[in-house]
Amino acid sequence: MWPLWLLASLLALSQALPFEQKGFWDFTLDDGLPMLNDEEASGAETTSGIPDLDSLPPTYSAMCPFGCHCHLRVVQCSDLGLKAVPKEISPDTTLLDLQNNDISELRKDDFKGLQHLYALVLVNNKISKIHEKAFSPLRKLQKLYISKNHLVEIPPNLPSSLVELRIHDNRIRKVPKGVFSGLRNMNCIEMGGNPLENSGFEPGAFDGLKLNYLRISEAKLTGIPKDLPETLNELHLDHNKIQAIELEDLLRYSKLYRLGLGHNQIRMIENGSLSFLPTLRELHLDNNKLSRVPAGLPDLKLLQVVYLHTNNITKVGVNDFCPVGFGIKRAYYNGISLFNNPVPYWEVQPATFRCVTDRLAIQFGNYKK
């Protein structure tokens, strides 16, 4: 029943609206698919994200690679010590799970005949080489999970049907211009955990993409990258080495509603920087080196959650969060975290949080030197 549950979960998640996700599947915490129930997928506008099972030919039940489990067009071959992609995979397969094996190379004909494949899971192998035509047969592939491998570059010639790419925890240092060319349906890329520096992104590397989600966490970024897609709704750059946010760093990203900058080294956020984010709802600046609450928060009318815990903030002003007057801010805060800062909380005026929905939404105190 496990493969049936896996496919049912994947298909159900594909129907979720792309702009209401609570969080994307994070293979940095989990090595495989059994924990995917917290994910709301990001289907492209041009497709429903669900393979048309009724239009496919009957399942070839006799075709199942040795040691694998095959049921309802799901082929599950994880944790078998495989050295290569197995043969005799049914041509009507829609989900192929090859995670936690010892595959080191994807060859030209490894996926030959799998024209109905919708999701391919290659997480936690030893893949370092991919033939330029390895993915050519996968004309309907929408989800490719190839994290935790030994890749030093983005795979070439990705299927044009691709919606979601998970390629974090590899050895990628460079994102060249044109590597994502033709991927008009792509709206989610997870590429954290790679030794990427700001200089590793060639100008135009993301040209043509209409992403709404991008994560480049646990890399070596010292600033917010330039020329990311203007369509982004979520940008996660936590666990990097970013030291400051300058005035025009966020100019392109006016559609962001969630910005993750936690666990960096940010000391300064230039006044006016946040004014370019009129639709921002969540701002994560925890575990940095800020000495004050960032300026401009009261002007963000939709902002509801601000993480500022574990910084060096010593003072909180009465107008740091809420605008002066009434009826200006349309959304009330439902979460402000200020704990583990050296601010004397007994000196903070109650009116400071006049635009917070509930006093329990404020996390304060507990500073430890």
Quickly count: other Cβ atoms within 10 Å of residue 263's Cβ.
20
DSSP for 191-207, written as a single string = --SS---GGGB-TTTTT
Identity of the highest mean pLDDT range in 3-17, 214-228, 320-334? 214-228
Quickly count: other Cβ atoms within 10 Å of residue 55's Cβ.
7
Q: Where are the domains of the chain?
A: 62-171
Angstrom distance (rounded) from CA 194 to CA 218: 7
Query: According to the model, what pLDDT value does residue 193 have?
Result: 97
Tens-place pLDDT, residues 268-288: 999 999 999 999 999 999 999
The pTM is what?
0.82
Q: Is the pLDDT at 162 greater than 70, yes or no?
A: yes
Q: Which CATH number is 62-171's, of 3.90.740.10, 1.10.3730.10, 3.30.70.120, 3.80.10.10?
A: 3.80.10.10
Angstrom distance (rounded) from CA 186 to CA 207: 12
Angle at 41 between CA 206 and CA 284, to 5 degrees: 70
Look at the chain and count its residues: 369
Alpha helices in the chain (DSSP H): 2-14
Confidence of residue 330 (pLDDT cuts 50, 70, 90): confident
Extract the tokens encoding 280: 């921002």
Which DSSP state fits 333?
Answer: B
Tens-place pLDDT, residues 163-176: 999 999 999 999 99
Confidence of residue 345 (pLDDT cuts 50, 70, 90): confident
Tens-place pLDDT, residues 21-67: 333 333 333 333 333 333 333 333 333 344 444 444 444 556 899 99
Check residue 100 and give left, alpha or beta (phi > 0: left; psi -120 to 50: alpha).
left
**Which residues touch 18 (CB under 8 Å, ≥6 apart)?**
41, 42, 43, 187, 212
Spatial contact of 228 and 252, defined as CB atoms under 8 Å apart: yes
Confidence of residue 234 (pLDDT cuts 50, 70, 90): very high
Identity of the highest mean pLDDT range in 43-47, 253-257, 331-335? 253-257
